[in-house]
Amino acid sequence: MFDDLRDLYQELILDHGLKPRNFRRPEDANRHAKGDNPMCGDRMELALKLDGEVVTDLGFQGRGCAISMASASLMTETVKGKTLAQAHQLSDSFRALAMTGSCPECGAELADEMERLQPLAGVHEFPSRVKCATLAWHTLNAALDGSKEASSE
Amino acid sequence: MSFDVRKIREDFPILAQMQRGKPLVFLDSGASAQKPRQVIGAMMRCMESAYANVHRGAYYLSETATEAYEASRRAVATFLNAARAEEIVFTANSTMAINLVAHCYGRGILKPGQAVVTSEMEHHANMVPWQMLRDAHGIELRYVRVTDAGELDLEDLAAKLKDGKVGLVAVTHMSNVLGTVTPAAQIARMAHEAGAKVLFDGSQAAVHRKVDVQALDADFYVFTGHKLYGPTGIGVLYAKHALLEAMPPFLGGGDMIATVSLAGSTWAAPPARFEAGTPAIVEAIGLHAAIDYVTAIGLPAIEAHERALVDHAMAVLSQVEGLSLLGRAQDRGGVFAFSLDNAHAHDLSTLLDRAGIAVRAGRHCAEPLHERFGVEGGTCRASFGLYTTPEEIDFLGAALVKAREFFA
């Protein structure tokens, strides 16, 4: 009945949705932000350690659907160790990927990271679910910019 | 007249269409119902041959449109068994009707220090206006508790009425999440004994049950057209005439005035006092057609059909492993909010959508109620209309079992 949904709910997504990585609050974090999808009740808190220009550690806690949990999990994995500029670039690229299914503008520099995020590209076919995938990245932007609240509404 | 759901479905063109290659199983009528040809046709005929502004022109078309608009008001009065048509005020929807009462009765009549009682069960439309009244006008706001079964705690209501400070009790007549039908006549009695007026939010109830505002002794009763198989943009406030007479206007503008001079204005009598500006004329005609439609089928027949659906849904859904239902009220209508143990509501609704099933996912504009039942992340909600069939509920049950396997 739901076989064609395996494109959206790939094994990797279900795995990260069920067992999110970096589901914790780094003790020495110095940047925090909350993300909220008021319409559906998804909510997360992101904490990261910014050491100079580099995101040396980050983790999140919260609740949400499989897509939002998996996206947050994969986000923490790909952003860890990146510079501020790279993190912002990944955020922009992921938005394009989630909304259109591809990112022709994405450069070669972060190609490996974008490859890692590719399983979430299927969400672009589900307009009401795009915001589930982008919530973590909105929250990351808020944390990096020093604002406290993010919403993907 | 016998109730033939196959024949009824033929009245609703949208139900014949495919959705993502599958027959549409529309289980979101609680959010907004589909429209029968009779409503669509009445609105088209109005625009094609009988349309002009109302209450303004001394020419044939305007007089025709005015008569049709006022005939709709009379039809609503009959539908609710109001004592007179002047007790019916047209609004945009239930939300606007409740805001009208919060403004005109809340700020206009209630005094700072008095209290309004609502409940944990309300959707935001019957909660936020009272919070705004509290903050702007010094009104205390009290919430009646909901029991674990999903019913209003009437002992708690009695306790909250006891000090005599309550000026208004504003509660739902049927929960949009739990399906609970509240004991409206009893609530009205309790409110009146404590010296309070009572407002019922009938957004859900008026669709599923015969409502008699005089038998309930309701002071205010609101419902909306689009859930009653009518168009969007038209809702109804019923209020006892003496209350409307005493209340100041809501919005200012044309139609609501008796006289206007540069120095000031005087107000028209109700209901015109509360209908500023050009109203939703075509939508009022559509609502009239919707009321004629459900009246011809018969509210008792619709209620019997839906009772059978509720019993069937209870049997089907309780067979789905890992499924939890919100609320187990004795008296309930065709609204079921549920969650699966291994799937989030949004993931679940995406799967069901793929099977052609339209359900609502989220918190259904009732965030506090979801917190009350410990499901802050939201639920899926299946809600029925007069066109819903037992086979559709079977299909939902089968899809839920498959969905649980999908996420296993």
Q: How far apart are CA B127 and CA B41, in angstroms?
A: 36
The answer, yes or no, to whether residue B346 has pLDDT greater than 60, is yes
The distance in angstroms from the start CA to the end CA of chain A is 30
Confidence grade of residue B321 (pLDDT, cut at 50, 70, 90)? very high
Residues B312, B236 within the same domain:
no
| Non-local CB neighbours of B265 within 8 Å, separated by 6+ positions | B252, B257, B258, B259
Instruction: Retrieve residue B12's tokens.
Output: 């609703």
Residues B193 and B320 in one domain: no
Residues B351 and B363 in one domain: yes
Q: Is A42 on the interface with B (CB under 8 A)?
A: yes
Among B22, B326, B347, B370, pick the best mutation site for testing chain A contact (most A Cβ within 10 A). B347
Same domain, B273 and B137: yes
pLDDT of residue B369: 86
Chain A residues with CB under 8 Å of B377 CB are 41-42, 63-64
> How far is the alpha carbon of B377 from chain A, nearest alpha carbon, in Å?
5
Q: What is the CATH number of the domain that holds B202?
A: 3.40.640.10
Q: Do A5 and B370 count as a contact with CB atoms less than 8 A apart?
A: no
Question: Which chain B residues contact residue A14 at CB under 8 A?
Answer: 407
In tens, the pLDDT along A55-83 reads 999 999 998 999 999 999 999 999 999 99
Output the pLDDT for position B382: 97
Q: What is the pLDDT of residue A152?
A: 61
CA-angle at B237, arms to B234 and B242, nearest 5°: 150
Residues B325 and B362 occupy one common structural domain: yes
pLDDT at B373 over 90: no
Domain contains B332: yes
| pLDDT at residue A7, as a whole number | 83
| Contact across the interface for B346 and A65, Cβ inside 8 Å | yes
Listed residues B265, B295, B325: the one ending a domain = B295
Q: Rounded to an integer, what distance in angstroms lies between the CA atom of residue B379 and that of residue B365? A: 11
Which residue of B346, B352, B379 is the best one to mutate when testing the A interface, meaning the one whose CB has the most A CBs within 10 A? B346
Most distant CA pair in chain B, distance: 72
B26 forms beta bridges with B358
Chain A contacts of B402, Cβ < 8 Å?
Answer: 1-2
Q: Could you tell me the residue range of the domain that residue B333 belongs to?
A: 5-30+299-406
Q: How far is A126 from chain B (nearest CA, A)?
A: 8
The answer to whether position B218 is within a domain reads yes
**Could you tell me whether strands B265-267 and B257-260 are parallel, antiparallel, or unpaired per DSSP bridges?**
antiparallel
CA distance B32 to B225: 9
Tokens at residue A54, please? 């580099």
Q: By C-alpha distance, which of A51, A48, A52, A53 is closest to A72?
A: A48
- Is the pLDDT score of B1 beyond 60? no
Considering the domain architecture, whether residues B227 and B309 belong to the same structural domain is answered as no
Catalytic residue set of B = 365
Task: Say if residue B142 is in the same domain as residue B182.
Answer: yes
Quick check: is B35 in a domain? no
Residue B339 lies in a domain: yes
Domains identified in chain A and CATH numbers:
3-147 (3.90.1010.10)
Which chain A residue shows the shortest CA-CA distance from B405?
A2
Q: Report CA torsion sign: B368, B372, B376, B381.
A: negative
**A132: chain B residues, CB-CB within 8 Å:** 346
Residues B57 and B145 in one domain: yes
Interface test with chain B among A1, A3, A4, by most B beta carbons within 10 Å: A1
Residues 56-75 (A) with a CB less than 8 A from some CB of B: 63-67
Q: Do A1 and B354 touch (CB under 8 A)?
A: yes
pLDDT at position A50, please?
A: 94
**A15 has a chain B CB within 8 A of its CB:** no
Hey, are the CB atoms on A2 and B355 less than 8 Å from each other?
yes
Does B137 share its domain with B280? Answer: yes
| Distance from C-alpha of B133 to C-alpha of B111, rounded to nearest angstrom | 11
Q: How many CB atoms lie within 10 A of CB A15?
A: 14
Interface contact flag, B407 A66, Cβ < 8 Å: yes
Distance, in Å, from the CA atom of B124 to the CA atom of B143, rounded to the nearest integer, reads 13
Determine the residue of chain A that is closest to B396 in CA distance.
A1
Q: Is A14 on the interface with B (CB under 8 A)?
A: yes
Whether B234 and B280 have beta carbons less than 8 Å apart is answered as yes
Assign B12 to helix, strand or coil: coil
pLDDT score, position B7: 96
CATH number, residue B329: 3.90.1150.10
Q: How far does A128 lie from chain B, in Å, by closest CA?
A: 9
* Nearest Cα to Cα of residue B15 among B358, B379, B380: B358
A1 in contact with B at a CB cutoff of 8 Å?
A: yes
Interchain CB distance below 8 Å, B347 and A41: no
Does residue B266 share a domain with residue B144?
yes
> Is B237 in contact with B91 (CB distance < 8 Å)?
yes
Domain limit, last residue, from B279, B295, B311:
B295
- What pLDDT, in 10s, does the model give residues B259-274? 999 999 999 999 999 9
Measured CB to CB, residues of chain B less than 8 Å from chain A are 343-347, 350-351, 354-355, 361-363, 367, 370, 376-378, 399, 402-403, 406-407
Tell me the pLDDT of chain B averaged across its residues: 95
Beta bridge partners of B90: B236
Q: How many CB pairs under 8 A join A and B?
A: 56
- What count of Cα atoms within 13 Å lies in the side-chain half-sphere of residue B356? 16
Q: How many domains does chain B have?
A: 2
For residue A44, the chain B residues in CB contact (below 8 A) are none
Beta bridge partners of B23: B18
Condensed to tens digits (0 to 9), the pLDDT of residues B21-60 reads 889 999 999 999 999 999 999 999 999 999 999 988 889 9
pLDDT category at B377 given cuts 50, 70, 90 is confident
Same domain, B46 and B16: no
Please compute Rg for chain B using Cα positions: 22
The per-residue pLDDT for B114 is 98
Residues of B in contact with A128 (CB under 8 A): 350
CA of A123 vs chain B CAs: smallest distance (Å): 11
Question: In Å, how far is A43's CA from the nearest CA of chain B?
Answer: 8
Per-residue model confidence (pLDDT) at position A29: 95
pLDDT of residue B403: 95
**pLDDT averaged over consecutive 10-residue blocks of chain A (153 residues)?**
86 92 95 86 92 96 93 97 95 94 84 93 91 95 81 59
Q: Which amino acid is at B248?
A: P
Tell me the two tokens of residue B128. 């936020």
Which member of A1, A8, A9 has the closest CB to residue B355? A1
Both B198 and B318 in a single domain? no
> pLDDT per residue over B63-72, tens digit each?
999 999 999 9
The 10s digit of each residue's pLDDT in B220-252 is: 999 999 999 999 999 999 999 999 999 999 999
What is the 3-class SS of chain B, one letter each residue? CCCCHHHHHHCCHHHHCEECCEECEECECCCCCCCCHHHHHHHHHHHHHCCCCCCCCCCHHHHHHHHHHHHHHHHHHHHHCCCCHHHEEEECCHHHHHHHHHHHHHHCCCCECEEEEEECCCCHHHCHHHHHHHHHHCCEEEEECECCCCCECHHHHHHHHCCCCEEEEEEECECCCCCEECCHHHHHHHHHHCCCEEEEECCCHHHHCCCCHHHHCCCEEEEECHHHCCCCCCEEEEECHHHHHHCCCCCCCCCCEEEECCCCEEECCCCHHHCCCCCCHHHHHHHHHHHHHHHHHCHHHHHHHHHHHHHHHHHHHCCCCCEEECCCCCCECCEEEEEECCECHHHHHHHHHHCCEECEEECCCCHHHHHHCCCCCCEEEEECCCCCCHHHHHHHHHHHHHHHHHCC
Q: How far is Cα B136 from Cα B128, in angstroms, rounded to an integer? A: 12
Q: At what angle do helices A66-79 and B345-354 cross, to 10 degrees?
A: 120
- How many CA atoms are closer than 13 Å to the CA of B290, on its beta-carbon side? 28
Q: Do A5 and B402 touch (CB under 8 A)?
A: no
